[in-house]
Amino acid sequence: MQGVIFDIQHYAVYDGPGIRTLVFFKGCPLRCAWCHNPESWRREPEMGYLADKCLACAQCVAACPQRALTLIDGWVARNKEICTVCGKCADVCPQQAMETIGRSATVEEIVATVAADKPFYDNSGGGATLSGGEPTGQPDFLFALIEKLRAAHIHIALETCGCFPANIRDRLCDAVDLFLFDIKKISSDEHRRWTDLGNELIRDNFLVLHHLVGSVRVLPRIPLIPTVNDDPTEAAAIVALLQQARYEGEVHLMPYNCLAKTKWAKIGRGDDFHDFGLLSKETIAAFSAVFTAAGYTVVCN
């Protein structure tokens, strides 16, 4: 069994309890305008290019078997129509300006990598967090991986945008120890405006998951984006959803930053990057106060 991932990160402490290893799946149904991992959108591996690292040495141009690269005024242009993502350009680049993003990996390979950190999990109450992208977009691979990780007695957290088919809910509840469930916008029209998809399924999945597993195993996380969802009115709408679900746990906020700008540029979408600006302490405090008033403990990551 193989799937497509784009990164594995060790010793993470913000994506579930304890010390964790993050496995990033490639592919996502949403197109969030503020996305911190835009390289996760496409399921297929792709090539990245960091122009500010490039020496314009043209070694990549010479190495490309498809002649998909051209050196133009000190930077390398790629013809994506004929590029086969073979990675030979990245292999010869002396500055690592070229990068292959995404690769096929077997369940056994990932389990071996994750299990190597098990002493850290055992000492801290940690485990593996499956992230992305959206892991449920590769369901067969996801469930095969979880089965092997559980056999190794490793705690499983699933970071999800909530956009997954209803017919895998029960199976997810049987397999996953903790759901890190993103909630972005309550209005479906506004959700579509900022992510390209409405959120009826997402809201329904949250309600059903919480009904099935309870507040101990579902953790709502809110990416807090300036001018998009950072006002108390939006906070009140999210509180209403949590109260509808009868959720009783913590609420985690993930304030926006613009550090993903280089990632957008790397995949050739630098012109699409939008800097939403800074979140003031006052804005975060006012947003948090709505949840606190409703009886929720707020954690700001």
pLDDT the model gives residue 12 = 95
pTM over the 0.85 mark: yes
**Nearest Cα to 89, choosing from 61, 66, 48?**
61
- The CATH class of 2-43+103-300 is alpha beta
Domains of the chain, residue spans = 2-43+103-300, 47-99
CA 104 to CA 1: how far, in whole Å? 10
Q: Count of CB atoms within 10 A of residue 123's CB?
A: 10
**47-99: CATH architecture:** 2-Layer Sandwich (3.30)
Q: Distance between CA atoms of 34 and 17, rounded to whole angstroms?
A: 25
Rounded to whole angstroms, the Cα distance separating 218 from 200 reads 18
Per-residue pLDDT in tens (0 to 9) along the chain, 301 residues: 899 999 999 999 999 999 999 999 999 999 999 999 999 999 999 999 999 999 999 999 999 999 999 999 999 999 999 999 999 999 999 999 999 999 999 999 999 999 999 999 999 999 999 999 999 999 999 999 999 999 999 999 999 999 999 999 999 999 999 999 999 999 999 999 999 999 999 999 999 999 999 999 999 999 999 999 999 999 999 999 999 999 999 999 999 999 999 999 999 999 999 999 999 999 999 999 999 999 999 999 8
Give the distance, in angstroms, between the CA of residue 203 and the centroid of all CA atoms in the same chain: 18
CB 15 within 8 A of CB 129: yes
